[in-house]
A and B are shown apart, each in its own frame.
Chain A
Amino acid sequence: MQNLCLMIVLAPLVGAVVTGLFGRALGRSGAHWVANIGVAISFFLSLSVFWRIVIEGELTYNDNLYTWLESGGVLFQIGFLIDELSATMMVVVTFVSWMVHIYTIGYMRDDPGYQRFFSYISLFTFSMLMLVMANNFLQLFFGWEAVGLVSYLLIGFWYTRDTAIYANLKAFLVNRVGDFGFLLGIAAIVMYFSSLDYVEVFGNAHNMASIKISIWSGHEWSLLTVVCLLLFVGAMGKSAQVPLHVWLPDSMEGPTPISALIHAATMVTAGIFMVARMSPLFELSTMALSVVLVVGAVTAFSMGLLGLVQNDIKRVVAYSTLSQLGYMTVALGASAYSAAIFHLMTHAFFKALLFLAAGAVIIGMHHEQDMRKMGGLRKYMPITWVTCLVGSLALIGFPGTAGFFSKDAIIEAVHVSTTPGANLGYLACLTGVFITALYSFRLMFLVFYGEPRMDEHTRAHLQETSVVVWGPLVVLAIPSLIIGAIAIEPMLFGDYFGSSIFVDSKNDVLVRINEGYHGVVGFVGHGMLQAPFWLAMAGVFVAWYCYLKRPDIPRRIVERMSIVHRILINKYGFDAFNDRFFAGGARGAGRMLWRVGDVGLIDGIMVNGSAKCVGWWSSVIRHIQSGYLYHYAFAMIIGLLVLLAVFIHGVAG
């Protein structure tokens, strides 16, 4: 198993290093072959690991590879933990990554940075695999920051664009704010558990449940609450939860394949994965779960609303991603970890599909991203249209699609959950369904239906994209349709995750849902009678009415509700506030500390001031240095007498 794991992580790493260092020598096709073969190896081997662990039920593999260092009695190691959870993630990551590798061949065909791009996405695959396969917090943090690095490099891939290099710096820094909390959480774990190993820490968690620590004097906090909240700050950064979500919409400045791979399917779900992995800790702190739930609910609802007012096709999908991440977080807060991972998986497929479809549209439209200039593309790009429709249906949770099962499970779970804040979560998720349907089909109708609104030249050149582009769309459409029906039973109600996820029996909402579950067909039938389905249908209907039937309505709504519209267009003011308060404030503080502290006080008064003092003193002293010998002799005698006096006094004393 160890060799297998090593091959899985090293294959993409080799791909990244070879294409990165020898890209020019390899040429373009050489580079994409190397990278594709690397990730394909990784995918097939992951599949075999998945087979052995999940299907054949082989025991969890947990072993250290090497000791990173040892200090102060704590061992820092690098190693792999392969259980049902990591095996699932490995397959999802390598599969989506491979599809994106293929897609890239077409999407980046004319880009001068072709080899560099392959190097980055292979490096990303390596980092993400290290993250999900880790058996300890150190390696988790390694992978965590490494995917952040690659995300930074890829958002700024077109490094001459001002918006891109602004966005990538923003993404890195906002993620660093999350990592700041994450690192403190890890430090707390090291302090109290003296270990970074998952198994050891989780095994000891119960003994720590009663420990209280005081951060502000007079306020006692449960240790595990503090640890979980700190770790969750990390998850909020990576999984873009309010208020650390601000980087994700801007990350759309990167090429579309990475929006699909990194900023929708895999990296941004790392926070979800992490919390699920830490379920033995989170289960011991109701307060932490409650915070998770509320943050998720706020994200799911408020970010969905923003999707309604975007005109850039990629941004609509980006806000949709934010909202869906909120759903997953809500599930985590409701202790429905397996539902969160289930939705993570289905979302990875259909959201990657949607992004790649959006990318295909962008290629077809000659890099036009404004939906107001599209329309009627259905006739010109039928495969893109059908696959995008599949993705949208899955996203809104149309009965039978993958998204239906996972989203319904989350809504049901939060409905029966007793975690404080669950009511709010339920409300947010329900209204979220309507909003999701509305923005998704707004996109569908604006892009694929109605009258073409693009200029003549673009329309004349509209055509279906090449096979490397639509191929992955088709391949991703299949799981987007069927994976839900296949996986719901084992994942949610079976023993799929085994011991990799821990749920306290008092929080186990899925057991309660299971009582009313009677097979897939029953679940679908049941779902069609429930509120979420009708809300989704209502959303589709409103989208149809407002954007196809009566396109004048949205404009009138905007005029009528201009304040609301302005709030949404300004994204609730987060960006403006951050720019002014944090970015501007930090620069201002830096300038002030430097001017006043360093230049003014320390250098100006203390250093140069004392130099001036010396100068002044010496101009006084100069008069004493008269050049007359008897002056000097006199001074010497006086000095000698003083010294003698001190000496005698010292001896006598």
Chain B
Amino acid sequence: MVADLPILSLCVWVPLIGGLWVVFAGSRMSTNAVRNNALFFSVLTFGLTLFLWRDFDNNVAAMQFTEKLSWIAQFDIFYHIGIDGIALPLILLTSFTTVLIVLAGWEVITDRVNQYMGAFLILEGLMIGVFSALDAVLFYVFWEAMLIPMFLIIGIWGGPGRIYATIKFFLYTFLGSVFMLVALLYLYRQTNGSFAIEDMQALLLTLPQQKWIFVAFLLAFAVKVPMWPVHTWLPDAHVEAPTGGSVVLAAVMLKMGGYGFIRFSLPMATDAAASLNGMMIGLSLIAIVYIGFVALAQEDMKKLIAYSSISHMGFVTLGFFICFEIFSETGSWTGAVMGIEGGMVQMVSHGFISAALFLCVGVMYDRVHSRQIGDYGGVVNTMPRFAAFMMLFAMANAGLPGTSGFVGEFLVILSAFKASFWLAFFAATTLVLGAAYTLWMYKRVIFGEVTNAAVKTLEDISMRETAILIALVIPILILGIWPAPLLDMMHVTIAQLVEQLSQSKLP
């Protein structure tokens, strides 16, 4: 029976409609009913995405679960969706995270609960829409619409500096995506009136054309990742966002940038990417090293984790753009696969780990109402269970083997070595830097004697919080111990992508 349903559409529309329901019908419900409704829709969506996973065929390179309906006929715009091995893991990540966000806000959010929960559900639907859209206009609509709930989440439930943060966030991302719109319209003309992403990927373009397209996309995606130097909105947004907002921002929204590179920039402007890859690699290394140092200097836990996110996302862009360098060094594309797969694994893994760390900060913030490292110290004495969880997440963030944090970085460093010793050298500094800023924070917050009254009266995590953290421990450990299933999901798709990249798009 399930097979007959347009299951991918359901994954998009169930949370969207569920979210609207929670917002509007929820205003007349009790707070508890709102929470239960939100939980119901998020779990339902997660279940639907699990069906996607079950029925997904790892051996098919073409889009699966495709649906195509005419939308705006006179411009040949279609409601066209489908997924491949790149989109599926990110969709699973999205639906999984949303369940946790609903749970994380359970008792913490008491103000406008229906709107809060609804915003996240709507956001979930839009994000799944972005990952599954095969029509450029549809993609763009989902992409821009995502900003609205996120804007509201930070602007309404955020901290004292939320106005500055939201405007900064909005301007950055909006400015970036306007250029993407221009590029998409240009490509629409070049394809003689098709908004199908597939057609755009097949286009032959001259190098200057490709470069313009590449730069336009870069502005949109680099802001989202975020890459240095357009990253400064992220720490501000994280600091002001409520815990759930930080989680969704770090776990999923940053992945939009990486997804964009791999879906648009690389296949549509291949030659431009090949000729500009030096810049991209340079920016990625700056993110890894420079931001790693900057993270050391942070006194605000959320800022620190935000900077850590930027540094870790540097591995994603490095893994993606190193492929051309590997090809020119070794003359073979097999090494390129490892870099791209490493970048993909890093995206998924970072989703879990950063979500976990932001939730941990949230747990402490809910109790002490401070994010300053200096306001803590000796938390382990009063919250031993919490300390154990956070130890694991900190180690995962430091890329300890056996956790998911290791897999992506490892693959990217291995493939970077194929391009050049020095690339691998600088990328591998994360081994020291990542451990330094993460564990130093852990030491100052968790270890030591109890130094103040607030920490002295802390209560260890509740059943609800424990459940959320356990839910994150499971994927982090499984991906660390046995990442093969995740890789198997992507192999065919990435092999096809690399095949595309190996061919020049010049006319």
* Chain A residues within 8 Å of B, Cβ to Cβ: 66-74, 141-142, 145-146, 149, 152-153, 156, 159-160, 162, 165, 169, 172-173, 176-177, 179-180, 183-184, 186-188, 190-191, 213, 215, 586-587, 589-591, 593-595, 597-598, 602-603, 606-607
Residues of B within 8 A of A589 (CB): 293, 296
Does any Cβ of A come within 8 Å of B218's Cβ? no
Residues of A within 8 A of B293 (CB): 586, 589-590, 593-594
Nearest chain B residue, comparing its CB with the CB of A158: B447
| A72 and B484 contacting across the interface, CB-CB below 8 Å | no
CA distance in complex: A165, B391 (Å): 13
Contact segment of B40-48, B98-106, B413-421: B413-421
Residues of A within 8 A of B443 (CB): 165, 169
| A72 and B334 contacting across the interface, CB-CB below 8 Å | yes
Residues of B within 8 A of A603 (CB): 232
| B298 and A68 contacting across the interface, CB-CB below 8 Å | no
| A159 and B380 contacting across the interface, CB-CB below 8 Å | yes
CA distance in complex: A177, B413 (Å): 15
| B447 and A173 contacting across the interface, CB-CB below 8 Å | no
Residues of A within 8 A of B439 (CB): 152, 169, 172-173
| B338 and A184 contacting across the interface, CB-CB below 8 Å | no
Interface size on B, residues (CB 8 A): 59
Per-residue contact bits, chain B 412-431, to A (CB 8 Å; 1 contact, 0 not): 01111110011011001101
| A594 and B411 contacting across the interface, CB-CB below 8 Å | no
CA distance in complex: A215, B410 (Å): 21
* Chain B residues within 8 Å of A, Cβ to Cβ: 168, 229, 232, 290, 293-298, 334-339, 341-342, 378, 380-381, 391, 395, 400-402, 406-407, 410-411, 413-418, 421-422, 424-425, 428-429, 431-433, 435-436, 439-440, 443, 446-449, 482-484, 487, 491
| A184 and B334 contacting across the interface, CB-CB below 8 Å | no
Residues of B within 8 A of A184 (CB): 413, 417, 421, 424-425, 428
* CB-defined A-B contacts under 8 Å, sample of 29: A68-B484, A69-B484, A71-B338, A71-B487, A72-B335, A73-B334, A74-B338, A141-B401, A145-B400, A145-B401, A146-B401, A146-B402, A149-B400, A159-B448, A160-B448, A165-B448, A172-B439, A173-B432, A176-B432, A176-B435, A176-B436, A180-B431, A183-B431, A187-B416, A191-B418, A587-B296, A593-B294, A594-B297, A597-B294
B421 touches which of A141, A142, A215, A598 (Cβ 8 Å): A215
| A71 and B411 contacting across the interface, CB-CB below 8 Å | yes
CB distance from B379 to the nearest CB of A (A): 10
Q: A66-B482, A180-B432, A607-B232 are in contact. Are A159 and B400 (CB under 8 A)?
A: no
Residues of A within 8 A of B380 (CB): 159
- Residue with the greatest number of chain A CB neighbours at <10 A, chosen from B402, B415, B421: B421
Residues of B within 8 A of A179 (CB): 431
Residues of B within 8 A of A71 (CB): 337-338, 341-342, 411, 487
CA distance in complex: A153, B439 (Å): 12
**8 smallest beta-carbon distances between A and B, as pairs:** A72-B338, A187-B417, A590-B296, A590-B297, A590-B293, A591-B297, A165-B447, A72-B337
Residues of B within 8 A of A186 (CB): 414
| A586 and B436 contacting across the interface, CB-CB below 8 Å | yes
Nearest chain B residue, comparing its CB with the CB of A185: B417
Residues of A within 8 A of B425 (CB): 184
CB distance from A351 to the nearest CB of B (A): 28
CB distance from B474 to the nearest CB of A (A): 14
CA distance in complex: A386, B342 (Å): 57
CA distance in complex: A595, B299 (Å): 13
CA distance in complex: A180, B339 (Å): 19
CA distance in complex: A179, B339 (Å): 21
Residues of B within 8 A of A593 (CB): 290, 293-294, 297
CA distance in complex: A598, B226 (Å): 13
Residues of A within 8 A of B447 (CB): 156, 159-160, 165
CB distance from A393 to the nearest CB of B (A): 40
CA distance in complex: A142, B290 (Å): 27
Mostly, the A contact residues are: helix
- Residue with the greatest number of chain A CB neighbours at <10 A, chosen from B339, B411, B431: B431
| B415 and A72 contacting across the interface, CB-CB below 8 Å | yes
Residues of B within 8 A of A188 (CB): 417, 421
| B435 and A172 contacting across the interface, CB-CB below 8 Å | yes
Nearest chain A residue, comparing its CB with the CB of B435: A176
CB distance from B26 to the nearest CB of A (A): 37
| B395 and A149 contacting across the interface, CB-CB below 8 Å | yes
| A594 and B298 contacting across the interface, CB-CB below 8 Å | yes
CA distance in complex: A591, B487 (Å): 38
| B484 and A70 contacting across the interface, CB-CB below 8 Å | yes
CA distance in complex: A72, B395 (Å): 27
CB distance from A18 to the nearest CB of B (A): 15
- Residue with the greatest number of chain A CB neighbours at <10 A, chosen from B168, B443, B446, B447: B447
CA distance in complex: A175, B429 (Å): 13
| A586 and B417 contacting across the interface, CB-CB below 8 Å | no
Residues of A within 8 A of B448 (CB): 159-160, 162, 165
CA distance in complex: A213, B418 (Å): 12
| A587 and B297 contacting across the interface, CB-CB below 8 Å | yes
CA distance in complex: A526, B380 (Å): 58
| A68 and B483 contacting across the interface, CB-CB below 8 Å | yes
Residues of B within 8 A of A152 (CB): 439
Nearest chain A residue, comparing its CB with the CB of B440: A169
CB distance from B400 to the nearest CB of A (A): 6
Residues of B within 8 A of A590 (CB): 293-297
Q: A162-B448, A602-B232 are in contact. Are A594 and B342 (CB under 8 A)?
A: no
Residues of B within 8 A of A213 (CB): 421
Q: A73-B334, A191-B417 are in contact. Are A160 and B431 (CB under 8 A)?
A: no
Residues of A within 8 A of B232 (CB): 598, 602-603, 607
CB distance from B260 to the nearest CB of A (A): 22
- Residue with the greatest number of chain B CB neighbours at <10 A, chosen from A70, A149, A593, A594: A594
Q: A142-B401, A184-B417, A593-B290 are in contact. Are A69 and B336 (CB under 8 A)?
A: no
B483 touches which of A69, A160, A606 (Cβ 8 Å): A69
14 further A-B contacts with Cβ under 8 Å, apart from A71-B342, A180-B432, are: A71-B337, A72-B338, A145-B406, A146-B400, A146-B402, A165-B447, A173-B439, A176-B432, A180-B431, A184-B421, A184-B425, A186-B414, A191-B417, A590-B294
CB distance from A114 to the nearest CB of B (A): 14
Residues of A within 8 A of B436 (CB): 173, 176, 586
Nearest chain A residue, comparing its CB with the CB of B490: A71
CB distance from A337 to the nearest CB of B (A): 26
CA distance in complex: A145, B402 (Å): 9
CA distance in complex: A606, B175 (Å): 14
- Residue with the greatest number of chain A CB neighbours at <10 A, chosen from B294, B334, B342, B416: B294
Residues of A within 8 A of B414 (CB): 74, 186-187, 190-191
| A190 and B435 contacting across the interface, CB-CB below 8 Å | no
Nearest chain A residue, comparing its CB with the CB of B416: A187
